[in-house]
Amino acid sequence: MPFWDLQKQLGVDVDRWLLRQSMPQPYGRAAVCHAFEREWVECGHGLGQTRARRECGPEYEDFMECMHRTKM
């Protein structure tokens, strides 16, 4: 069926993109940035938005660096 080969024809790898997000993953594999996102969420849990931005800045920066691969 042409639909199954659509990702390859368009050059889009949706599965690779999904593995970079912290959501239920195909094949039960953990997301690449799951550990960084978890640290950020645990740091900001129970704090207000303003206080969490101030106190959890390093965790958020690590998470964004992993997601966007700016320093790798």
Domain ranges of the chain: 28-71
Q: What is the pLDDT of residue 7?
A: 66
| Mean pLDDT per 10-residue segment, the chain (72 residues) | 64 61 65 84 85 89 87 70
Amino acid at 30: A
pLDDT at 24: 63
**What region does 24 belong to: left with phi over 0, alpha with psi -120 to 50, or beta?**
beta
Please give the Cα distance from 54 to 47 (Å, whole number). Answer: 10
